[in-house]
Chain A
Amino acid sequence: MWEQYIIYGIIFYFVGLFLSGLLVLFQKKFQNATKLFVLANVVGFTVGIIYFTQFSGQHIILMDVEWFFHFAPQLHAISAVFFTVLCGVSALVGVYSLQYLSLYKETYNPSMVASLMAFFVLGMQGVLISHETFSFLFFWEVMSFSSFFLVLSDRKSESIKAAFLYLIMTHIGASAILAGFLILGKGSLSFDFDQIQNASQNLSVVSQYFVFLLFLFGFGSKAGLVPFHVWLPEAHPQAPSNISALMSGLMLKVAVYGFIMIMLEMYHIPRFAALIVIFLGLLSGLVGVLYAVIERDIKRVLAYSSIENMGIIFAMLGLAMYYLSQNVHEVIAYGLIAFTMFHAINHALFKTALFLSSGVIINRVHTKSLDAMGGIAKVMPIFSFGFLIVILGSLPLPPFGTFYGEWGFIQSVISLLRSLHDAPYDIILLLSTLVAIGLIGGLGIFAMIRIFGISMLGLPHHSIDKRSEKTDILLIVPIIILGMTVLVLGIFAQPIILQISVYIQSFATASNISPQPMNITSIFVAVIVFAIGSLVYMINKIVLKNHKERKYHTWDCGQPIDVSMQYSATAFSAPIRFFFLTFIGREKTIRSEAIVETNPWIRKSFFALYLRPIWIDVLYAPITKGLFIVAERVRLIQSGRIQYYILFLLFALIITLITAL
């Protein structure tokens, strides 16, 4: 019975999304379509919840159509987790868009954005439920194309540039995924994912390796792993804030989902490949977080922070793969995957909320530059409270959900270290992982606190739109709900993670291994945090009754100060920039000239700081250069004479004959 409900619910969901995408094109106002979008997502969310309450990880075949290609979408435990999160978050983003898009009527075409947003979510959900190559790639392309158009929706030249970079990268990735599936399916487009295990078993070791690397590149480039991440900090900030939220919060999770599926299904992934994943993950984490600390555009900071979190997620998955491929420590490895998924869920929530908040902030100060922000907390106390919750939720601090992801990672690493027996390479691997994760965590705190402190506190560097906060209530409520959800996930982390690890094990193996117990009671942690909070409140209210207060201006050493003396975002990150100078491309210009030529002592100084991402020089510039050199060489054979081309034709014919015969 429930199965029927779920099937109908999901069909309603997809039809609703599709209709809301089309509705805008016929109606002048986008609001109705967006309301339908929200409604559909709420239905989808309910379906997801029903699935979890009524089923324990079975596959539900939603339909089975054999109509010029095989189409049999499925819902299973892992996709249902992502499905539910996507629905819930999209519903909130929909609510946010209702007001956000009407605020930006001039800049964007609201109906267009609303329509594309519906198709974008449709594409992502389609990827989650599809179970064979053709539909998977079809929805993947729907997702990519709709997001491509969304990135260039403000029609500025930078957006168009960023969007095309995104299009190129995402299509190279998509073709890698396609190639991987084609190799697995032996050229068949209607390759059923249930067959992955069998198909990969039949491959030679070299092609297994190759297929895995193709998938890693495909999903990794979508998730923004470091050498393939260039598009991410360009494209995400250029989109409207609600779309950036969807892209960073949800689209990256779709890539993670794809990777988890491949990882669990593929037979015997080579050990070395797992090392590559760990390396890329840690590299992304470090690079992402370092640039998140020094970057000065608020949305770019958030985009880099996404890269960092993706790095952590892939490092965790890589570590799990490393041990699964050797068939040792399986309990810990499956536990790690569960922690990864928990972290991915949390990341989906808080990163969406952060991007939505950035939209609210940018709407008030009309700039993306952190250096020009400040003082918003005074104008918008409720929003700033919600934003603080989200910021704290994005950091590994108890009792928030994100804490348990990192906790699980470190605990797993330590228990792996304890079970070592003379495996020196493992020691190095685990130790460097441990150290890197500590550094990433620390710098992540720096980056996030910098955003909050600089944008919300102090004096405004720029004029703030001082309209009442109540007019923005639709913008603020989704953010607060998302932040609170991270908190609630933190409180119930222990049962949720255990349940997820049960799902994963039932998904991956037939045998039931008992999940790794968590020796930390998350509810109790929250209770103690609450108890201490009330203790402080009591001390303040009962013991200390002196509340005399007076307002006066900031201590200024007797010389009036203004906002130009306040610490800016660039200055705030100066120590980190100094300590990590080796890894940061930086160009500093200091020029000073005398105001009056006869007096050299009174000078006017000019200072400029330009941050140039290091990978452009190290990685991409040589590749471009190499391509140009190759192109020059290739041009030599194109002399323009028809005889040459006929000669090539002849050669081609001969070679074909030789290989064919």
Chain B
Amino acid sequence: MKALSLLRVLLFKKSVIEKKEIFFESNDNEALEVLGSEIKKIIDQLYAGRSLRIRAVDAGSTNAEEIELTALNNAYYDIDRFGLSFVASPRHADMLFVTGPVTRNLEYALRTTYEAVPQPCIVVAIGDGACTGGMWKDSYAIVGPVENVIPVHLKIPGDPPTPIEILHGVLSILKYQKIK
């Protein structure tokens, strides 16, 4: 009996999940920066981003962003329901999530990863480090923000940005942007 009621909850109730609408509420998003006009073209080409596969690249972050990215997969934020999923190989990816200021040691890794992703590909810089260099700006050990190494289409600032902010940022440029 217990199992049955559990199944009912799991299959038909969604009480544990964050509501979808919250990702689309336009709280003040001045910080969010969409770069370039080609992004629209790419998204149109990829069926308005209804199904995108993401490869996360750590270019020297503090792991704070990674924890937030992991949280995207859990039952509460559930990135899966928007058609987004993380994959194991850049060859399968349509979108790169880059975190951290690009350190000199990881510059090559970041560049090869970008080259390894089949075009068209959307690059999202996540976190202050990736957007501007953050507190490491002008350090001798880093190359600078991600755009110094590879072209960036979207920047999501924050140190680290919350999962809601990340999802909001990503979804705002995808299909729901058009719906609005």
The short answer to whether A and B are in direct contact, CB under 8 Å, is: yes
- Whether B108 sits at the interface, judged by CB under 8 Å, is yes
* Stretch in A179-187, A551-559, A641-649 with 4+ CB within 8 Å of B: A551-559
Asked if A550 contacts B118 (CB within 8 A), the reply is: yes
Query: In the complex, what residues of A have CB within 8 A of residue B91's CB?
Result: 555
- Whether B85 sits at the interface, judged by CB under 8 Å, is no
Asked if A555 contacts B109 (CB within 8 A), the reply is: no
- Whether B113 sits at the interface, judged by CB under 8 Å, is yes
- Whether B160 sits at the interface, judged by CB under 8 Å, is no
A556 to B89, CA, bound (A): 10
A397 vs chain B, min Cβ distance (A): 29
Query: In the complex, what residues of B have CB within 8 A of residue A555's CB?
Result: 89-91, 116
A558 and B89 in contact, given A550-B118, A552-B115, A552-B116 (Cβ under 8 angstroms): no
Contact with A along B42-69 (1 / 0, CB 8 A): 0000000000000000000000000000
Query: In the complex, what residues of A have CB within 8 A of residue B106's CB?
Result: 558
B155 vs chain A, min Cβ distance (A): 22
Contact with B along A558-580 (1 / 0, CB 8 A): 11000000000000000000000
A565 vs chain B, min Cβ distance (A): 16
B96 vs chain A, min Cβ distance (A): 12
Residue of A nearest to B118 (CB): A550
Query: In the complex, what residues of A have CB within 8 A of residue B108's CB?
Result: 558
- Whether B110 sits at the interface, judged by CB under 8 Å, is yes
Query: In the complex, what residues of B have CB within 8 A of residue A553's CB?
Result: 112
A550 to B119, CA, bound (A): 10
7 contacts across the A-B interface (CB closer than 8 A): A550-B118, A550-B119, A553-B112, A555-B89, A555-B116, A558-B112, A558-B113
Query: In the complex, what residues of A have CB within 8 A of residue B90's CB?
Result: 555
B110 vs chain A, min Cβ distance (A): 7
Q: Interface residues, chain B, CB within 8 Å of chain A? A: 89-91, 106, 108-110, 112-113, 115-116, 118-119
**Beyond A552-B116, A558-B106, 14 extra complex contacts between A and B, CB < 8 Å:** A550-B118, A550-B119, A552-B115, A553-B112, A555-B89, A555-B90, A555-B91, A555-B116, A556-B112, A557-B109, A558-B108, A558-B109, A558-B113, A559-B109
Q: Interface residues, chain A, CB within 8 Å of chain B? A: 550, 552-553, 555-559
Asked if B110 contacts A558 (CB within 8 A), the reply is: yes
Query: In the complex, what residues of A have CB within 8 A of residue B89's CB?
Result: 555
User: Most chain-B Cβ atoms within 10 A of its Cβ — which of A552, A555, A558, A559?
Assistant: A558
Query: In the complex, what residues of B have CB within 8 A of residue A556's CB?
Result: 112
Interface of A is mostly: loop
Query: In the complex, what residues of A have CB within 8 A of residue B116's CB?
Result: 552, 555
Residue of B nearest to A557 (CB): B109
A556 vs chain B, min Cβ distance (A): 7
A199 vs chain B, min Cβ distance (A): 71
A553 to B112, CA, bound (A): 9
Query: In the complex, what residues of A have CB within 8 A of residue B115's CB?
Result: 552
B91 vs chain A, min Cβ distance (A): 6
A32 vs chain B, min Cβ distance (A): 56
Query: In the complex, what residues of B have CB within 8 A of residue A552's CB?
Result: 115-116
B37 vs chain A, min Cβ distance (A): 22
Residue of A nearest to B91 (CB): A555
A245 vs chain B, min Cβ distance (A): 41
A557 to B112, CA, bound (A): 9
A442 to B91, CA, bound (A): 32
Residue of A nearest to B88 (CB): A555
Query: In the complex, what residues of A have CB within 8 A of residue B109's CB?
Result: 557-559
A559 to B116, CA, bound (A): 13
Query: In the complex, what residues of B have CB within 8 A of residue A557's CB?
Result: 109
Query: In the complex, what residues of B have CB within 8 A of residue A558's CB?
Result: 106, 108-110, 112-113
A550 to B118, CA, bound (A): 8
A550 to B117, CA, bound (A): 10
Residue of B nearest to A553 (CB): B112
A553 to B115, CA, bound (A): 9
A553 to B89, CA, bound (A): 14
Query: In the complex, what residues of A have CB within 8 A of residue B110's CB?
Result: 558
Residue of A nearest to B107 (CB): A558
A107 vs chain B, min Cβ distance (A): 45
B93 vs chain A, min Cβ distance (A): 11
Residue of B nearest to A554 (CB): B116
Residue of A nearest to B113 (CB): A558
A559 to B107, CA, bound (A): 11
Residue of B nearest to A556 (CB): B112
A559 to B110, CA, bound (A): 10
Query: In the complex, what residues of A have CB within 8 A of residue B118's CB?
Result: 550
A545 vs chain B, min Cβ distance (A): 15
B44 vs chain A, min Cβ distance (A): 16
A559 to B111, CA, bound (A): 11
A552 to B118, CA, bound (A): 10
A558 to B90, CA, bound (A): 11
Residue of A nearest to B58 (CB): A558
A471 to B91, CA, bound (A): 38
Residue of B nearest to A559 (CB): B109
A561 vs chain B, min Cβ distance (A): 11
A217 vs chain B, min Cβ distance (A): 56
A557 to B118, CA, bound (A): 16
A327 vs chain B, min Cβ distance (A): 62
Query: In the complex, what residues of B have CB within 8 A of residue A550's CB?
Result: 118-119
Residue of A nearest to B112 (CB): A558
Residue of A nearest to B109 (CB): A558
A550 to B114, CA, bound (A): 13
Query: In the complex, what residues of B have CB within 8 A of residue A559's CB?
Result: 109
A559 to B112, CA, bound (A): 9
Query: In the complex, what residues of A have CB within 8 A of residue B119's CB?
Result: 550
A557 to B116, CA, bound (A): 10
Residue of B nearest to A558 (CB): B109
A557 to B91, CA, bound (A): 11
A220 vs chain B, min Cβ distance (A): 51
A556 to B90, CA, bound (A): 10
A556 to B118, CA, bound (A): 15
Query: In the complex, what residues of A have CB within 8 A of residue B112's CB?
Result: 553, 556, 558
A555 to B91, CA, bound (A): 8
A177 to B86, CA, bound (A): 69
A640 vs chain B, min Cβ distance (A): 80
A556 to B91, CA, bound (A): 11
B89 vs chain A, min Cβ distance (A): 6
A550 to B110, CA, bound (A): 18
A648 vs chain B, min Cβ distance (A): 81
B76 vs chain A, min Cβ distance (A): 30
B100 vs chain A, min Cβ distance (A): 13
A191 vs chain B, min Cβ distance (A): 70
A329 to B116, CA, bound (A): 63
Residue of A nearest to B115 (CB): A552
A556 to B108, CA, bound (A): 11
A448 to B57, CA, bound (A): 39
A553 to B113, CA, bound (A): 11
B23 vs chain A, min Cβ distance (A): 31
A196 vs chain B, min Cβ distance (A): 66
Q: Give the top 7 A-B pairs by smallest Cβ distance, nearest first.
A: A558-B109, A555-B116, A552-B115, A555-B89, A558-B112, A555-B91, A552-B116
